[in-house]
Amino acid sequence: MYEQIASNKRRTLLIMFFFIIFVLLIGYVFGRITQFGYAGVFIAGVIAFAMSFGSYYYSDKVVLAMSRAHPASKEENAHLINVVEGLAIAAGIPKPKVYVIDDPAPNAFATGRDPEHAAVAVTTGLLHKMNREELEGVIAHELSHIRNYDIRLMTLTVVMVGVVALLSDWLLRSFFWGGRRRDEDSGYLGLILMVIGIILAIISPIVAQLVRMAISRQREYLADASGAMLTRYPLGLAHALEKIAKDNEPLAVANKATSSLYIATPANLRSRKGWSLWDTHPPIEERIKRLEEMSFEKMPA
């Protein structure tokens, strides 16, 4: 199990390294081709950071409001609150705020920028359709997202995707407006840079989104493994994921903007063509398989 967690961390770091190199490459070509020079790269970074700053500090409130989540009460949701409190102690993090979404589809998500400012939301469908071990598996997964600072990591990727999108747009506009190249980039070098710039301007947003999705999938694997360590029972989460996968209840409050937050893609947003590189979650069958393999390993003391 420790090997699974270490492998997921290494893959995430590798993907992030590739992402940073890719952004720097676009910035270099952008600076050589356009009249903005390298100052344009800095401006793009500032704008992308400003766009992400608000979402970083206020996205949790926005997401909870969009999901029509309401605070869990001790009278009606004592069982849920006790599970969250117990697993938060085991994870060594403050107890997050607990919310409930009135929807028959079983699902859950975590939000917040760090363990001190976090919340967990579950649907009434999850509470009604999961036994205690399955509920603990789901909550442990979401608390692992909080403990692993996944929201902070995904915010960083959003910033980089924003930089890539801005640079790509500026490159295309500079070609459309006939923007001048730097004087030293004349002749064949200038032509080569222009061709590279056009190619990068077209494919870079696509590549950036694919990298973002890949990072998201690796964090899901990591949260699965970390959550299994918290409960010491990987099959609890495996069985929960199996139930969620077989459930066809549409999650009315979910949309494409929030679907990546949930422990599994809601039934009404799943692709009918099966899994693809554009999915924010790994294939649920693969997640279940990995958890089942963990259950046969000797759990660390």
Q: Where are the domains of the chain?
A: 2-60+162-203, 66-150+216-295
The CA–CA distances, whole Å, from 169 to 52, 204, 298 equal 18, 10, 52
Provide Rg for the chain, Cα atoms. Answer: 22
Indicate which residues carry an active-site annotation. Answer: 142
Query: Phi and psi of 220, rounded to 5°?
Result: -70, -45
Task: Please name the amino acid found at residue 294.
Answer: M
Considering only CA atoms, which of 239, 240, 47, 38 is closest in space to residue 158? 47
Q: How far apart are CA 22 and CA 160, in angstroms?
A: 10
Question: Which of the pair, 171 or 292, is modelled with greater confidence?
Answer: 292
Task: Please name the amino acid found at residue 172.
Answer: L
**Residue 301 scores a pLDDT above 70:** no
What is the CATH number assigned to the segment(s) 66-150+216-295? Answer: 3.30.2010.10
State the pTM of this model: 0.78
- pLDDT per residue as tens digits for the range 178-197: 555 555 555 566 667 667 77
- Give the chain's end-to-end CA distance (angstroms, integer): 12
At 60 the pLDDT is 83
Instruction: Tell me the pLDDT of the chain averaged across its residues.
Output: 82
At 1 the pLDDT is 54
Q: How far apart are CA 23 and CA 27, in angstroms?
A: 6
- The β-bridge partners of 71 are 99
Burial status of residue 252 (CB atoms within 10 A of its CB: 0-12, 13-18, 19 or more) = middle
At 14 the pLDDT is 75
- Record the tokens describing residue 178, joined without a space: 């006939």
At 156 the pLDDT is 67
